[in-house]
């Protein structure tokens, strides 16, 4: 996977999701995303947080690469 896929700016994430990257990190920490399969994390972001698919995947990859 290309680094550009998850190398996104706060401004981009805020524009598309309404929250900063740091806020998403906290949400994913509470969800215990590190213990889950990436597809389950993407589904959580899409279904429970209304994050568009591309951005759900980008945030998941960013989180798991940290």
Residue 65: closest CA among 42, 38, 40, 32: 38
Look at 53 and 2; give whichever has higher pLDDT: 53
pLDDT of residue 2: 56
Region 21-31: mean pLDDT is 98
Q: How many whole angstroms separate alpha carbon 30 and alpha carbon 50? A: 17
* Tally of structural domains, the chain: 1
- What is residue 23's predicted lDDT score, i.e. its pLDDT? 98
Residue-level pLDDT at 3: 58
pLDDT digits (tens, 9 = 90+) for 1-22: 555 556 789 999 999 999 999 9
Mean pLDDT of the chain: 92
Q: Which domain holds residue 8?
A: 3-65
Q: What angle do CA 55, 51, 32 make, to 5 degrees?
A: 90
Higher pLDDT, 62 or 2: 62
How far apart CA 4 and CA 28 sit, in angstroms, is 21
- Alpha-carbon distance 35 to 16, whole Å? 26
């Amino acid at each position: 996977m290309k680094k550009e896929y998850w190398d996104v700016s706060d401004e981009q994430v805020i524009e598309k999701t309404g929250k900063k990257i740091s806020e998403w990190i906290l949400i994913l920490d509470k969800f215990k995303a590190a213990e889950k399969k990436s597809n389950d994390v993407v589904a959580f972001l899409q279904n429970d947080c209304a994050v568009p698919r591309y951005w759900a995947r980008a945030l998941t990859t960013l989180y798991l690469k940290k």
